[in-house]
Homo-oligomer: A and B are copies of this chain.
Amino acid sequence: MNSSKVAKVSFKEQMLQAREDAIVQTANRFLAEKGFEAMTVDEVAAAVGIAKASLYKHFTSKEDLAAAAMLRILKQAQEFVLTLPATDAPLDKLRAVVRWSMRMQLASDMPALPRQNSCLRAALMANPDYLDRLMAFSQLLGGWIESAQQQGVLNPELPATAVLYTLYARACDPVLEFLKAGGQYSDEQIVELVLGTCFDGLRTRAPAK
């Protein structure tokens, strides 16, 4: 008897969690497609198929909802880097992370980074879980960057933070959108094209010695 009650509660909680996931996933898509300001809570609720008031039982504000979506994508990024073989070279791991983020963007699953002067940014900076994860993720990538620089494959004259920001920025690079709108290239071609310009630049490479 007791166990059935427990199972029942657990089932309810699972349903609740599943709904919350659906809300965040939907918000994530709208954030990726339209940005925080243009996204409305109404359309998120409508797309999920619930009333707006129900959504507000899960999230206290639009910023709170968007922050949950940003936290979700950050968690996914952390899960992704766990799948990378430890034997891979640091430079290859960095490339893999950028490739992953660009694929997410092309699939409309990557919300754009909030502007410096944005209310969403304020909400994120007030979220310790987000901040902690972002710092841990940045330190992981920062370690790879420094290793690659010591190995001589990544330009050692570049500040590690500048490299880090450059990689982060690929997740919201409008070049992907432009090339996709052109309709001339497949998603994978676009990813490899932009990945190449990111690491090798636009100039012609000197032939390897």
Contacts and interface: CB of A to CB of B under 8 A. Distances in A.
Interface of A: 33-35, 37-38, 91, 113, 115-118, 152-156, 158-159, 161-163, 165-166, 168-169, 172-175, 177-179, 181-182, 184, 193-194, 196-209
Contacts of A35: 35, 37, 115
Given A158-B197, A163-B202, A200-B203, A33 B117 contact: yes
A175 B166 contact: yes
Contact of A198 (B116, B156, B184, B201): B201
Contact of A37 (B37, B158, B197, B199): B37
Contacts of A206: 205-209
7 contacts: A158-B196, A162-B193, A162-B194, A165-B174, A165-B175, A199-B201, A200-B203
Most buried by B among A152, A204, A207: A204
A132 to B, nearest CB: 19
A186 to B, nearest CB: 13
B203 A199 contact: yes
Contact of A174 (B38, B113, B178): B113
Contact of A161 (B37, B182, B201): B182
Contacts of A156: 204
